[in-house]
Amino acid sequence: DGVFGEAAAQRDVYEAAAAPQVAACLHGFNSTVFCYGPSGSGKSHTCYGPAHELPPAGRRATAAWATSDAAGLIPRAAQQLFESIASGGRGRFVVRVSFLQLYRESIYDLLSPSGRPLALREDPRAGVFVEGITEVAVRSPSEVWALAARGQRHRATAATAINDVSSRSHAIFTVVVEQAQALPSLQGPGRRSGEAGGGGGGGALKVSRLHLVDLAGSERAALLGERGARLEESKKINLSLSALAKVMATLSEPRGGGHPPHVPYRDSKLTRLLQDSLGGNCRTSMVACVSPQPTALDDSLSTLLFTSRARAIRNHAKVN
């Protein structure tokens, strides 16, 4: 739906790809923005900002990082969220944050790193969730920035042949917004004060989730000469991205009569985590990153083919 050149500012990308999803989250919709593309094409830069500017622990350093012109989707989303609540929010809000990484097909908590993988569970009412994940209540953009920076520092990264700071895991930063709003008083004959719809009005609770996803990049490990841990990481990254492509291909196929097709969400923990974002109850946008390097031409073309399939998917978002 849009193309940005090398000279495009982070703000331009945010306004087009993420700002509408953050606004939808405040209206009660689940929303997802995820960055996809080959290794070294700028996904983490888009999500956070330049890796070399990631601050050490400290309030002043974090503020400078998150308010700079180079700040990425996550700091800007936090700013928009709290500004909207402060300027036009009616009712009471609770905002919580969690941050996880999927490293070699195991889920780890980035806000409380214990080194112990967490289990993925499924509940008929709650859907797919990570058991034991840390959720932190936040009251300001600066608290969100600090958690994002802290989690990113704990994320698995390494130097590779094409990237000095390559993400070796998929990362999902989630903001949960609960908003309680009073309904107008509907006091009438036969109704006692305190009943639903009675004196003082009832209440409505909206619960929405905003997922900001930084996917690890696909890699041609054999061509890069990767060995040992780097090779095993690449295998797991490519395996989960292949499962994602398979889900996208199934969802984008035109549906005829008869039974709906089986969507292979269970082939990977990544697709299970993003199940609602792909063809489910969510408003989703994708930022596809490609590289101007001639050696990345094949990867850039495959990324664009992937996104053309993604545009054919229709989600079914509703207010929660």
- Taking the domains of the chain in order of start, what are their residue ranges? 10-253+263-310
What are the Cα distances from residue 126, in Å, to 42, 89, 129, 131, 181?
A: 33, 26, 7, 12, 22
pLDDT computed for residue 192 by the predictor: 45
Measured between alpha carbons, how far is 3 from 9 in angstroms, rounded to an integer?
Answer: 12
Q: Does residue 37 have a known ligand-binding role?
A: yes
Computed on alpha carbons and rounded to an integer, the radius of gyration of the chain in Å comes to 21
Q: What is the pLDDT of residue 184?
A: 66
Q: Is 38 among the annotated ligand-binding positions?
A: yes
pLDDT score, position 152: 87
The answer to whether 285 is annotated as binding is no
Q: Is 44 annotated as a binding residue?
A: yes
Q: Show pLDDT as tens, one digit a residue, over the chain (320 residues).
A: 899 998 999 999 999 999 999 999 999 999 999 999 988 888 988 998 876 666 666 677 778 878 889 999 999 999 999 999 998 767 899 999 999 999 999 999 999 988 899 999 988 877 889 999 999 999 999 999 999 989 988 887 655 656 665 678 999 999 999 999 776 655 445 544 444 444 445 678 999 999 999 998 877 655 555 666 777 888 888 899 999 999 999 998 877 666 778 999 999 999 999 999 999 999 999 999 998 888 888 889 999 999 998 998 999 999 99
Query: Is 39 annotated for ligand binding?
Result: yes
Cβ neighbors of 242 (< 8 A, separation 6 or more) are none
Q: Is 291 annotated as a binding residue?
A: no
* pLDDT score, position 295: 81
Through-space distance between the first and last CA atoms of the chain, rounded to whole angstroms: 27
SS3 227: coil
Q: What SS3 class is residue 273?
A: helix
> Which CATH number describes the domain made up of 10-253+263-310?
3.40.850.10
Spatial separation of the C-alpha atoms in residues 13 and 144, rounded to whole Å: 20
* Predicted TM-score of the model (pTM): 0.88
Rounded to 5 degrees, what angle do the CA atoms 146, 147, 153 make?
A: 90
User: How confident is the model at residue 84, as a pLDDT?
Assistant: 93
Query: pLDDT at position 16, please?
Result: 96
